[in-house]
Structure 1
Amino acid sequence: MTDRWTRAEERYRQNAERRYRRDDLDWSEADDYEDDTTVIPRYEDEHYDEEHFDDEHYEGEEYDEHPLAPEPPRRSATQRVDRAQRVDRGRRATRSQSRSSGSRSPRPKRSRMASRKAAERKRRRRNLFVIAGVFAVLFVGAVGFAGWKFIGKLNGPADFSGPQGPLVVIQIKSGDTSTQIAQTMADKGVVASSGAFYEAAVRNTNMNSVQPGYYAIPSHSKGAEAVNALFTKDARVGNVVISEGRQLHDSSDVTTGARKDGIYRKIAEASCVGTGTAAKCVTYEQLDQAGATADPAVLGVPAWALERVKSVPDRSRQLEGLIAGGTWDFDPSASALDILKQLVSASAMSYEATGLVQSGAANGLSPYDTLIAASLVEREALPQDMSKVARVIVNRLAAQQPLQFDSTVNYTLDKTEVATTDSDRARKTPWNTYAMAGLPATPISAPSLDAMRAMENPAPGPWLYFVTIDKQGTTLFTENYQEHLRNIEKARQSGILDSGR
C-alpha cells in the first residue's frame, strides 16, 4: 500500500515538471521579471497603418481603446507569462537598437477621428483670429470716423469769408427740402458748401414759407447771408402773372389813353435780374422778334396746333393764345426764345389737362379751334355765362351764321373799347367776325381754364344771340332776332354801348 502511494506521488511529480517546464527562462537572469499578478503592458504595433484601421474592427490586443468591444478570451497563467516575456524581449531589443542608432522610434500614427478633431481645433483657432482681426479693423475705422466728425463739428462746414460776387439765378423746385436747396446753392457757387447753407437754414423759421420758383442770390455768400437773401423783396425773379383775356401785344384804352400791357411786356418786366442800372432784362422787342421769326416747333407749339400756327397770316401773332393766363415761373437768365418755349410748353400741358384734345366729341371742333373759341368766350362773357356763350358760338357755326363779336373787331385795333364803330366793323381782317363767317385766324387772347372748360362742354340750349345790357355784366340770351334787338336797346339806354371815339 505504502509503495503504491509512493509510486503514484512520484508519477504526479514527474507530470507536473513536464507541464510547468521553464527551460526557456533563465530564472537567475530574469531581473525584470514580473509575476503573473502584474498588469500585462498594452501591446502597440509599431507598424500600424492608419489607412487600414477600422473603427469597428480591430485586434484583440487593442480592445481597451474601444470600450464597447467584446472582451478577448482569457489566457492561462503560462500563456500570460510567455506573452510578457516576448514583449519584454521585444522592448529590450528596440531600446538597444535605438541606443545604437541614436534615433528614437517613430510615434504611432493617430486615428482618423483624432486627426479630424485636431484639424477642427486648428480651423477654429484660425477663424477666431480672422474674426478678431475684422473687429479690430472696424473698431479702428469707427474711432477714426467719430474723430473726423468731431473735428468737423469743431471746425464747422466750409464757408465764404470774402465779399459777395455777382448775382446767380437758382431754381427751387416744388417739394425741395432744405438739404436739396443747400446742395443747389453749393452747385451754383452761391455758398462754399451745402453744410454752410443748411446750418443757417434750419435756424431760420422763414424757410418754411419759401415758394417754388427762381431766385437771384449773390454768389460767394456766407451760409447765413444766402438764407436771408431768399426773403428780400427783389430775390424772386422770373415770376409773371398773366391775367385771363390778355393779348400778346400792348394796346391802349380809347377813353383814357392808358397803356394796357401785353403778355410780352409782362414777361420782359419779370425777366429782370438785379436792380437799377445793373439790372439785366429780356426786352419786349426781343420777345416780339423771337415770337414772330422762330419756327413754331422750336417755340414749343404742341402738335395739335402746329400746322394751323404755321399758316397764320400775321407771324407776329402766331403765339396768340398759346401762353395761358395764370401765374408762371421761368428762368430769367435764359434767352428770349427759350423763355417763350418754356411758357408755351407749360401752357400746352395746362390746356391738355382740361381735356382739350378729346373735346371734339362734345363741340365738334378741333383742339386749336376750341382754343380760338375759348378766347372769344373769355373776352365776351363773365364766368357765370361762359357755357351759354360757348353754346351760342357752336350754334352759329353750325348755322353758318357770322359770329359778329365786337371783341374780334377790337383785336387788331391800337385803341380798344367795348363798343365799336361801323367803320371798324366794316374792316376786313382775318379776325373780324362781322366781315366774315367762321372763327378768327388765331385766338384773340389768353383764355382762362374756366373758358376752356366751358368751350369744351357747352351748356345745352338753342341760343343764337346775346348782349350785355349794363356795366354790372348782366347778359341776356335769345334765339329770336327781334328779341335780341330789344335787348340791344336796353344796353344803349344803360350807356354801356357809348363810344369814346
Structure 2
Amino acid sequence: MEPKYVKRRQRGVAVLLASIVLIAGALGYIGFRLLGGGNTLDYEGAGNGVTQLIEIPEGSSMSELAPDLVEKNVVKTAEAFTSAASSNPQASQIEPGFYRLEEEMSAKSAVSALLDKDNKVDLLDVKGGSTLSDVNVVGGDVRYGIYSMISQVSCGDGGCVSKEDLERVAAAVDPAKLGAPEWALDAIRARGEDPKRLEGLIAPGQYVINPNMSAEEILTDLITRSTKRYNDTNIVDRAKAINLSPYQLLSAASLIEREAPAGEFNKVARVILNRLAEPMRLEFDSTVNYGLPDVELATTDEARAEVTPWNTYAKEGLPDTPIASPSEEAILAMENPAEGNWKFFVTVDQQGTTVFTDNYDDHLARVDDAINSGILNSQRGNPAQGAAGGTPLDEQDPAAGEAPAPAAENPAP
C-alpha cells in the first residue's frame, strides 16, 4: 500500500499545477482583451471629439481616478487605465487640477493627455498685493485684478464666468453666505453694495477653479478656503497680540504689500505701528490711489484731500478695508516689526533704495533726492508737492502691487 503522505503530496502538486494553469489563463485572457482579441477592455484612438472635464484632487492616485474616467466615458475600463498608467514611467508626474479630455480615448492616450500641460485648466494665481478690481496705470497698462483673473481661468465648454457677474455677486450676496470670516462681516456689510468690499478676503495662493461653477460658487469656494486658512493660523489671537482686530491686521498688512520694497516689510510695519501709536495719520499714497480710477506713483494734492474710506491723508487710522490681498509674509511683518523709531520712508532712486527716518527735516532731504532722481515725475502734469517714492508703476510686477510710496511729508498732528 502506498504511504498516505505520498498521496497528500501528489494531491498538493496537482492543486498547485491547477492554480498555475488558472492564473496563466486569467492573465492571458486579460492580455488578450487588452491587446487584441476583440479589444473589449479598451477603446482605440485619441477620442471622439466630445470633451469632458476631469478633476484630479490633491493626493489622489491613478487607481482612484480610474472610476471617474470610466463614468465619463473617457476610457472604457478601469483595468485598462490603471494598466496604462503603471506602464508609463512619467505617470507619477501628473499634477492635481482640472483637465479637458475627450471621450472614448485609449487608456494609453488618456495617460498621455493628462501629461500634456495644454489639457490642464489654468490655475488662479493670486499674489500678495493683488486687488479685486483692475487698476489703470497712468501712461501704462491695465493691471488685471482677481475678478478678471478668475474670468480668464474659468472658461469651459459653457463659456467663461464674466468679471461683471463676479462683481455683482460680491456686491449683492451676503458675505456670510460667501464664506467670509465672522470677524469681518460687520466691516464688509458696512460697505454696502461695493464689489470691492471683499478685498483682502481671497488669500494669496494658487487655486484650481472648476469651470462648471457659477460666479457665486467660485467666490464662495475661494473665500471659504481663504477663511479657513486665516482661521487655522489663529489670526484672532495673533491680531490681539499687537492690539489690532483680525480685520485691521489684514488691512495693515495690505498696506505693506502696496508700500514696502522687497526686504523692507518689517520696517514699513514699524512705521505703521509708530504712526498709529502717536497718533498721526498714515498718509500713504497707496490708500489715495485705491479710490482713484487710474493711478500713478505721484498722487496730486487734490486726490490726497478727497475723503474716501481708504485715503489715509484725509482720515485717521487704517483704511476701512484692506486695499489688497495680504501675504503671510506681510502679516508676519506686522506681528514682528523691526525695531526703530521711524515715522517716514521714501524710495530715492530707480533701483528701489529706500531710506527710513524719524526726523521730518531728514525726510525732506531724502525727498529732494527722490525728486532729483526723477522717480517722482508725474504723467498727469500736476504732481503733488509731497513725499513720494518708489519704482514707476508700469515697471512693477502686474500682480505684486504698485510701487513703494513713503509716508507723506505733511503728517497730521
Match of 1:433 in 2: 312
Quote how far apart the aligned CAs of 1:153 are.
3.2
Quote how far apart the aligned CAs of 1:419 are.
1.1
Q: Is the aligned partner of 1:252 residue 2:131? A: no
Runs of 5+ unmatched residues, structure 2: 1-13, 35-39, 381-413
Q: Cα RMSD (Å) of the superposition?
A: 2.8
Runs of 5+ unmatched residues, structure 1: 1-135
Distance 1:222 1:150 in 2: 20
Distance 1:231 1:305 in 2: 41
Q: Is the aligned partner of 1:405 residue 2:284? A: yes
Provide, for residues 450-500 of structure 1, a one-character-per-residue CA deviation record: whole Å limited to 9, x for no partner. 111111222232222222222222222222222222222221111111111
Q: Which moved further from structure 2: 230-239 or 434-443?
A: 230-239
TM-score (norm 2): 0.81
Q: Is the aligned partner of 1:172 residue 2:53? A: no
Provide, for residues 263-310 of structure 1, a one-character-per-residue CA deviation record: whole Å limited to 9, x for no partner. 111111111236xxxx72212112121222111112121222222222
Q: Is the aligned partner of 1:477 residue 2:356? A: yes
Which 4+ stretches in 1 moved above 3 angstroms? 136-150, 160-163, 349-355
CA contact (8 A) 1:238 1:332 kept: no
Q: Is the aligned partner of 1:227 residue 2:227? A: no
Quote how far apart the aligned CAs of 1:317 are.
0.9
Match of 2:29 in 1: 151
Quote how far apart the aligned CAs of 1:351 are.
3.3
Q: Is the aligned partner of 1:373 residue 2:373? A: no
Of 192, 206, 212 in structure 1, the residue corresponding to residue 96 of structure 2 is 212
Quote how far apart the aligned CAs of 1:405 are.
0.3
Quote how far apart the aligned CAs of 1:417 are.
0.8
Q: Is the aligned partner of 1:271 residue 2:154? A: yes
CA contact (8 A) 1:363 1:457 kept: no
Of 331, 351, 355 in structure 1, the residue corresponding to residue 230 of structure 2 is 351
Of 191, 199, 204 in structure 2, the residue corresponding to residue 320 of structure 1 is 199
Distance 1:199 1:137 in 2: 29
Quote how far apart the aligned CAs of 1:187 are.
3.4
Of Structure 1 and Structure 2, which has the larger fraction of its residues in helix? Answer: 1
Q: Matched residue of 1:476: which SS?
A: strand
Match of 2:79 in 1: 195
Higher relative contact order (CA closer than 8 Å, sequence separation 6+):
2
Q: Matched residue of 2:375: which SS?
A: coil
Count matched residues.
366
Quote how far apart the aligned CAs of 1:362 are.
3.4
Distance 1:317 1:260 in 2: 16
Distance 2:338 2:67 in 1: 51
Distance 1:373 1:139 in 2: 76
Quote how far apart the aligned CAs of 1:206 are.
2.7
CA contact (8 A) 1:354 1:452 kept: no
Distance 1:221 1:379 in 2: 48
Q: Matched residue of 1:454: which SS?
A: helix
Quote how far apart the aligned CAs of 1:146 are.
6.8
% identity of equivalent residues: 43
Distance 1:500 1:206 in 2: 52
Distance 1:428 1:314 in 2: 19
Q: Is the aligned partner of 1:457 residue 2:336? A: yes
Q: Matched residue of 1:365: which SS?
A: coil
Distance 2:234 2:332 in 1: 8
Quote how far apart the aligned CAs of 1:322 are.
1.0
CA contact (8 A) 2:93 2:115 kept: no
Match of 1:446 in 2: 325
Task: From the superposition, tell whether residues 471 and 325 of structure 1 become closer, same or farther in structure 2 (CA, over 3 Å).
Answer: farther
CA contact (8 A) 1:247 1:444 kept: yes
Distance 2:68 2:187 in 1: 41
CA contact (8 A) 2:171 2:192 kept: no
Quote how far apart the aligned CAs of 1:347 are.
2.3
For 2:284, the aligned partner's letter is F
Match of 1:305 in 2: 184
CA contact (8 A) 1:354 1:453 kept: no
Quote how far apart the aligned CAs of 1:431 are.
0.8
Quote how far apart the aligned CAs of 1:381 are.
0.3
